[in-house]
A = this chain, B = another copy of it.
Amino acid sequence: MIKKILVANRGEIAIRIMRSCREMGIESVAVYSEADRTSMHVRFADEAYCIGPAPSNESYLVIDNIIAAAKKSGADAIHPGYGFLSENAKFSERCEKEGLIFIGPSPYAINTMGDKITARIKMQSANVPVVPGTIKPISDLKEAVDTIHQIGLPVMIKASAGGGGKGMRLVKNEEDIISSVSAAKSEAKAAFGNDAVYIEKYINSPHHIEFQIVADKHGNCVHLFERECSVQRRHQKVVEETPSPIMTEEVRREMGEHAVAAAKAVNYSGAGTIEFIVDDNLNYFFLEMNTRLQVEHPITERVVGVDLVKIQIDIANGKELPFKQEDLKQIGHAIEVRIYAEDPDNNFMPSPGTIRHITEPLGLGVRHDGYVYAGYEIPIYYDPMISKLIVWAPTRREAIDRMRRALHAYKITGIKTSIPFLNRIMEVPAFIEGKYNTHFIQDHEELLKPHTHASRRLKDVAAMTAFFDYLSKIETVKKNTFCKRPASNWKNTGRRNNLNRS
């Protein structure tokens, strides 16, 4: 049985993993780069070892250093978190070789799912739907037209040697097929000297929906339902929720079965995620598999009532899954938003710096997974995500109300964060109605812009506060009268109110 786990990661996910370790009575070992000496995961762990200079490729990505820290600490297992080495088959292999338990799937599963074409072929043979399209380039016009008929419209034609949109053609109508293929081919020829093309089904208004699966080492595998992750900016997820507002019970069951089949096809063990691309009519296609914990795993934890990290550790310990598919249910609705150190009002420019104050949103139905603290300086070397806010409520509508309330109460000062942007997402009617796809953010650009209006009164309050502070500091106001310790103001309040009312 695992007694000590080295967490080969940093930030909120390192702490999240250590929390489950602590609940299980397992000791946790942190590793840190020189830039992370003051980082919370170092303070939170039972032990901590430095593994190199600030840049990830000299520390968090250096397998040798992590293995050395594991040896030094006497850890018997390594949890990779997400990112960094979490989907690195060599790391998984190395752990095995060193007699350390890698909390994740086998190198074979990582490799197979890590290569897009291998994964696609594997999925097809497991009868998991993939985006219809050609795998080999086609040069013959007739073959291309036949293929398009086979796939069905709309399709996207792409130059096989291509890039930058050249030689790309979207075909929506039957009558345009031949002319489009010809045009794409000649364009490709002109641009790349090669007229071969790929043809792929075009998904019009795509949704990104993924299924969480867990599989033990005894051949048991279940899914924990879906997560809707279509709110994305530059392919970066911003808001996730479960259940998906567009899902039906029937499609959920079907997709879940396919997700389990996909995992079984690579003899998967551990926690993993099958990502699907889904159109408005709920046609869905395998996109890829993430062979690790996802950032957004907490919404599944909340709605299904499980601790995914504990399940990962139990699986690594060789235990059987504690539930069967029919034991699992989705209860209520959960939403997660990711808070980044970035300035949403200035083209999402990263905003590292020192946290001055932090007021975390608390109360009923709110989970907050973060790692920063007052006085902490966010390093410039790593991902700018500083925390995740997860809410739950019996209904989707109430969950949105709760998320708004939580975002309202969440204050981080000293740096800019995406909180105001997330707040605005929660107010867009299309989001509230659950009618959105991966184009959501660009489709609602106007609504998502900062509301710059401020009342005269608010401007005056801001000016007076700054002025008051300025005077206090130059001591023309006796500071003690004013600060920290409220004097008796019962009478003053009365007086003030009388004055204002007169």
Give A residues with C-beta under 8 Å from B. 15-16, 19-20, 22-25, 34-35, 37-38, 44, 49-50, 52-53, 72, 298, 301-302, 305-307, 331-332, 357, 359-360, 362-370, 373-375, 377, 393-394, 398, 401-402, 404-405, 408-409, 484-486, 488-490, 493, 497
Contact = CB atoms under 8 A, between A and B. Distances in A.
Given A52-B490, A484-B38, A489-B37, A19 B363 contact: yes
A488 B53 CA distance: 7
B398 A23 contact: yes
> How many monomers of this chain does the complex have?
2
B369 A362 contact: yes
B493 A364 contact: no
A115 to B, nearest CB: 33
Contacts of A357: 374
A364 B307 contact: yes
Given A301-B364, A373-B359, A405 B490 contact: no
B364 A50 contact: no
A490 B19 contact: no
Contacts of A38: 484, 486
Contacts of A35: 486
Given A23-B398, A305-B331, A489 B50 contact: yes
Contacts of A486: 34-35, 37-38
Contact of A394 (B306, B367, B398, B497): B306
A366 B364 contact: no
A182 B58 CA distance: 88
16 contacts: A19-B364, A22-B404, A22-B408, A23-B398, A23-B404, A25-B401, A34-B486, A37-B486, A50-B493, A52-B490, A307-B364, A307-B365, A360-B360, A362-B367, A362-B368, A363-B369
B37 A497 contact: no
A378 to B, nearest CB: 13
A182 to B, nearest CB: 57
A38 to B, nearest CB: 6
A296 B177 CA distance: 68
Contacts of A37: 486, 489
Nearest to A403: B23
B402 A34 contact: no
Pick from A24, A486, A489 the residue with the most CB of B within 10 Å: A486
Nearest to A305: B394
A249 to B, nearest CB: 19
B405 A23 contact: yes
